[in-house]
Structure 1
Amino acid sequence: MKVVALTGNIGSGKTTVARELERLGAEVIYADELARQARAALAPEICRAFPDACVGGRPDDRRLARRVFADPEARRRLEGMIHPWVRRAVLERLERLAQSANPPELVVLELPLLFETGWNPARDGVLVVAAPEALRARRVAERSGLSLDEFRARDAAQLPQEEKVRRADWVIVNDGDLDALRARVQRWYAEVVREASA
């Protein structure tokens, strides 16, 4: 069972790449989905720390994001709650997959903050998805309705894309249409699965 981390900056197309890898047969663990579960599980703790970002005793994602991306100390405080929960969940899932009767050939950990947190449980390498900044900003505006300032605040909270590319074992550039991206992902998948079974 080969375990690879997938990361990239906001709007790069990580999730699109992850979904295509899933379609091709990889097992994908989505840290953002686990983080949503963590926010629900830790709602009382988060609302005690950030009462202005909660509605009806539950964290409001948009308010919480505005609060923590405007204040690095608040972001560190929130991450101190969420990250340990997500890490435990990732490790438990990896253990279950490794112990299963038919482990997948490839497990992909979609970890948007892989380099920022300094935690990488993927022993077999890092795949970075990269895209031009203007294209990433446009995608985020279309997908989430974030303004350019909101995009820039979130992007600034991440390691610069160039540094992620430098640290990567593999890079997929997402600067074209969906068909071009899928073709690049399929080539990468074929190469990595071939290496895993060699």
Structure 2
Amino acid sequence: MNIGLTGGIATGKSTVSRMLVKRGAVLIDADVIAREVMEPGHPVLLAVQKRFGAAVIHKDGTLNRKKLGEIVFSDPEERKALNEITHPAIRAEMRTRMADFEEAQPGCLVVVDIPLLYESGLDTMFDQVMVVYVPREIQLSRLMERDGLTLEQAEARIRAQMDIEWKKERADILIDNSLGLDKTESQIEDFWRNKGLL
């Protein structure tokens, strides 16, 4: 069985993924894959260099994330061009890893952590989608505390994603992470038991 794991910024996806892995799930992290495809020598990084120029590559061959960010976050067309290079490779790698885990460990739970799962239209890739939820005001205060942001900065980051209430309504499995770690742990335990994964 596979599930897509998502939520919003500062809702606690990492906490929930650790709880699932502790119980025996295998984790595929889309953010990790996104970093791997930007390693020196990877065809995706070479395509990014070809499209955006040598300025986005440091002398040692690594990606100049700051320079690339300046380009893509100031121009929606440039961001779209970057996504068209990176997203197919990331999705293909996710599918490969999912298939490999399902073949090597039949019956295990494969969890794929994708922060922008709904935004990317990837919900159909999974048997079910688990959404890690906290109300917006808690999300806001956690984000400000975690990243040292002002209220305005935190609100801008939250607005850049789909509304957490929208995701909550579409979840196959909802984990409310606003009630304390013990309550989150018991929700994961209930999920694990109900799926016959014990």
Scaled to the shorter chain, the TM-score interval is: 0.7 to 0.9
Pick the aligned partner of 1:49 from 44, 48, 52. 52
Structure 2 residue aligned with 1:189: 192
Deviation digits for residues 55-96 of structure 1, max 9, x if unmatched?
Answer: 445334456556544543333222222211111111111221
CA contact (8 A) 1:53 1:67 kept: no
5+ residue gaps, structure 2, are none
1:87 corresponds to which letter in structure 2? Answer: R
**67-76 or 81-90: bigger deviation:** 67-76
Residue 98 (str. 1) matches residue 102 (str. 2): yes
Structure 2 residue aligned with 1:139: 142
CA contact (8 A) 1:26 1:104 kept: no
Structure 2 residue aligned with 1:107: 110
Structure 1 residue aligned with 2:76: 72
> Matches of 1:6 and 1:64 in 2, distance apart?
28
> Matches of 1:184 and 1:5 in 2, distance apart?
17
**145-154 or 12-21: bigger deviation:** 145-154
Matched position secondary structure for 2:161: coil
Relative to 1, partners in 2 of residues 1:61 and 1:150: Cα closer, same or farther, differing over 3 Å? farther
CA contact (8 A) 1:6 1:14 kept: yes
Structure 2 residue aligned with 1:180: 183
Structure 2 residue aligned with 1:156: 159
> Matches of 1:126 and 1:34 in 2, distance apart?
19
Relative to 1, partners in 2 of residues 1:49 and 1:124: Cα closer, same or farther, differing over 3 Å? same
Superposed CA RMSD in Å reads: 2.8
Deviation digits for residues 121-161 of structure 1, max 9, x if unmatched?
Answer: 54421110111233323433444445544443433332211
1:73 corresponds to which letter in structure 2? Answer: E
> Matches of 2:75 and 2:134 in 1, distance apart?
27
Matched position secondary structure for 2:32: helix
Q: Please identify which structure carries the higher helix content.
A: 1
Query: How many residues are aligned here?
Result: 193
TM-score, length basis structure 1: 0.80
Relative to 1, partners in 2 of residues 1:90 and 1:66: Cα closer, same or farther, differing over 3 Å? same
Largest Rg, 1 or 2? 2
> Matches of 1:140 and 1:55 in 2, distance apart?
31
Residue 127 (str. 1) matches residue 126 (str. 2): no
The percent identity for this pair of structures is 33
TM-score, length basis structure 2: 0.80
Relative to 1, partners in 2 of residues 1:142 and 1:39: Cα closer, same or farther, differing over 3 Å? farther
